[in-house]
Amino acid sequence: MTKLNTPGLGMASRRSVLRGSLIAAGAVVLGSGTANARAPRGPMPMPKRVPEWLIQAEAEVIAKALPADLTGYTRVRQELVAPPFAPAHEQVATGGSKIIEVYMETTERLMTVDEDTGAEIWALTFNGSVPGPLIIAHEGDYVELTLRNPTDSVFEHNIDFHASTGALGGGALTHIFPGEEAVLRWKATRPGVFTYHCAPGGEMIPYHVCHGMNGTMMVLPRDGLKDGKGNPLTYDEIAYIGEQDYYLPKNEDGSYKTYAVAGDDYSDSLEAMRGLIPTHSVFNGAVGALTGENALRSKVGNTVLMIHNQANRDTRPHLIGGHGNFVWEAGSFNDAPATNFETWFIRGGSSGAAMYTFEQPGVYAYVNHNLIEAVLLGATAHFVVEGEWDNALMEQVVAPRTFEV
């Protein structure tokens, strides 16, 4: 297996091709001071090549920019943790704005998707997990990401933060080959939950996203979350759930194909993805990653903020036995949250958040309420909640019994 993205090209040429495909859609933005810039026409296949002048124009625009004024910012390091957990953070910011340093590696690893069927994937990940880790900042902070691509990687990678502004969400400035690293600093100007994902260009974009390379960035308002009347809302815990659609190639007998190394599934995967029918839609990387022994834990009276990311495909979370007391369906914390939703809609390519306070103990299933996807494709999690049962809310008046005919 050779490095696969654009075989036969040297690194410099490959970089031009791939960056070219990345910046193609942004050509118009750069065009204000650039001769011959014009919008792509018609249905837009990602071009294989972009003129050298356009790449240079981008570099010149960036080279002319004034340095950012970072006076008054405090540097802090945020240690990222694996989903479904959240890094240590403040809900209401104290002190002034910060530069939040985070570190991620683009790890390629073999993951079991479903133990029962033997389904597995050479996942492309941020820090080894699907989804990638939750990153948290406050509005007005900077996020300063060091992104490193290990030397033994097959692929080049980058990151597009939907929360950020410019350069394709940072994708054009973070494109790294195996053995490279890049540092990107961007200002969190909009509060909300936002998808981030790898987007290395052309067909590699859906390939990487559908191999797990996506996650959530949360930007909290400096004074914390609020209901629609300005009252503060706080949570006791975060449940960070990434829903991942996989398109795993199958053998003729219906079994799942296996591959020796990352990237060997490339052509088979593209063919499977073109059908638009996922073989799996799972929470946190695998069937059962958040059920049974791996269930999320809580207790009566606790408030959970459920953050749901889906970088590629629409979904509709539902907490069976509970509700979305406050729901930021499209993710923006500038908008008043909706209340008392039964099911909420997460657009493909976005994150959303819902807050609920548990009122009864027991097992709650958190599902994609396309129940075919929940039950047959894997999109189910469990909350196991401890506490006292409240008969005033629900009571089994008669236990199941045989009735007299």
Paired residues of 296 in beta bridges: 383
What is the spatial distance between Cα 178 and Cα 181, in angstroms, rounded to a whole number?
Answer: 8
What stretch of H or E contains 71? none
DSSP string, 266-322: HHHHHHHHHTT--SEEEETTSTTTTSGGG-EEEETT-EEEEEEEESSS-B-EEEET-
Nearer to Cu ion, 86 or 172 (CB): 172
Residue 205 falls in which region: left (phi positive, over 0), alpha (psi -120 to 50) or beta? alpha
- Cβ proximity of 119 and 113 under 8 Å: yes
Is 180 marked active-site?
no
What stretch of H or E contains 28? helix 27-30
Site string for Cu ion, 145-184 (x = CB under 5 A): ------------x---------------------------
400 to 121, 362, 396, 403: CA distances (angstroms): 44, 19, 9, 9
Is 211 marked active-site?
no
Is 343 marked active-site?
yes
What is the spatial distance between Cα 240 and Cα 312, in angstroms, rounded to a whole number?
Answer: 17
For the beta carbon of residue 244, count every other beta carbon within 10 angstroms. Answer: 31
- Interhelix angle 11-23/52-64, rounded to 10 degrees, is 80
* Stretch binding Cu ion (CB under 5 A), from 93-101, 136-144, 175-183, 195-203: 195-203
Judged by CB under 5 A, the number of residues near Cu ion is: 5
Is 197 marked active-site?
yes
Is 60 marked active-site?
no
Is 162 marked active-site?
yes
* Stretch binding Cu ion (CB under 5 A), from 19-27, 121-129, 130-138, 396-404: 121-129
Nearer to Cu ion, 52 or 152 (CB): 152
Nearer to Cu ion, 154 or 218 (CB): 154
Kindly tell me the number of DSSP H helices and DSSP E strands found in the chain.
6, 21
Strands 324-328 and 280-283: unpaired
57, 198, 282, 353: which one binds Cu ion (CB under 5 A):
198
Nearer to Cu ion, 121 or 213 (CB): 213
Is 335 marked active-site?
no
Nearer to Cu ion, 208 or 280 (CB): 208
User: Least CB distance from residue 315 to Cu ion, whole Å?
Assistant: 22
From the candidates 138, 197, 308, 382, give the one annotated as an active-site residue.
197
Nearer to Cu ion, 143 or 198 (CB): 198
Interface with Cu ion, residue 197, by CB under 5 A: no
User: Least CB distance from residue 17 to Cu ion, whole Å?
Assistant: 16
From the candidates 342, 386, 388, 390, give the one annotated as an active-site residue.
342
50, 113, 213, 296: which one binds Cu ion (CB under 5 A):
213
Q: At a CB cut-off of 8 Å and minimum separation 6, what does 279 contact?
A: 119, 246, 247, 248, 250, 256, 272, 377
Is 152 marked active-site?
no
Is 318 marked active-site?
yes
Taking the alpha carbons at both ends of the chain, their separation in whole angstroms is: 70
From the candidates 369, 373, 380, 382, give the one annotated as an active-site residue.
369
User: Least CB distance from residue 187 to Cu ion, whole Å?
Assistant: 24
* Stretch binding Cu ion (CB under 5 A), from 51-59, 72-80, 210-218, 232-240: 210-218
User: Least CB distance from residue 143 to Cu ion, whole Å?
Assistant: 19
Interface with Cu ion, residue 19, by CB under 5 A: no
From the candidates 108, 144, 157, 329, give the one annotated as an active-site residue.
157
What is the spatial distance between Cα 327 and Cα 333, in angstroms, rounded to a whole number?
Answer: 10
Nearer to Cu ion, 262 or 289 (CB): 262
User: Least CB distance from residue 340 to Cu ion, whole Å?
Assistant: 39
Residues at the interface with Cu ion (CB under 5 A)? 124, 157, 198, 208, 213
Give the residue numbers marked as catalytic.
157, 160, 162, 197-198, 208, 213, 318, 342-343, 369
